[in-house]
Amino acid sequence: MAEITDITEKLRAQPRPVKADDLVAEVKKLMAEQLLAALYRERIRTIRTRSYKLEAPAKPVSVEILHTLLGIELKIGKRRLLCPDLATARYLSVFARLGLSEVAVPYDITQISRLADELEASWFRMLMLADHLTDARSVRLRNRVRTGLCQDQRAEIAALGAGPAVPQFNQNTKQRRKT
């Protein structure tokens, strides 16, 4: 945390006005491998996944997880998506907040909860750092930094892709080891 306060003091001591792009780059540098795109690239796209059409709008909309009589639903703006469980809804909600249209979902449902925890922690840490670096600055700058971070992460994740609609299965049925 001392590292963050040092950076904040340096930014405040600069004679020129701070730009939103500079703050976005600073948040990306501080988070490094804990950014959403890095987690997506290293933890999600390396395992067997299936693609899921989320079709979330790029503009900021409210994202809620609803517990209904029919089960768990993810509400994105005015649309509702039925989710099989709470972990999947939490996982998809992070990508819905970013405004992604398609995302990779792990085929192994036991991994979704852990990944949802990491993604939510990364999302909230990214927003907290943006708020901290824009503390005592205008609300407009804060919003521009948040928007810039979301656009950057959305572009990086979209570039990585959602993978195949159906995961590839190993059809080998032989019990012997290959040498």
Number of structural domains found in the chain:
1
Q: What's the confidence (pLDDT) of residue 120?
A: 97
Q: Is residue 175, in this structure, part of any structural domain at all? A: no
Q: Is residue 94, in this structure, part of any structural domain at all? A: yes
Q: Which residues are CB-neighbours of 84 under 8 A, at least 6 positions away?
A: 71, 72, 109
Q: Which two tokens stand for residue 81?
A: 């998506």
Q: pLDDT in tens for each of the 179 residues of the chain? A: 667 677 666 666 555 567 888 999 999 999 989 999 999 999 999 999 999 999 999 898 999 999 999 899 999 999 999 999 999 999 999 999 999 999 999 989 999 999 999 999 999 999 999 999 998 888 999 999 999 999 999 999 999 998 777 766 666 666 666 66
Domain that holds residue 62: 18-160
Q: Is residue 38, in this structure, part of any structural domain at all? A: yes
Q: Is residue 10, in this structure, part of any structural domain at all? A: no
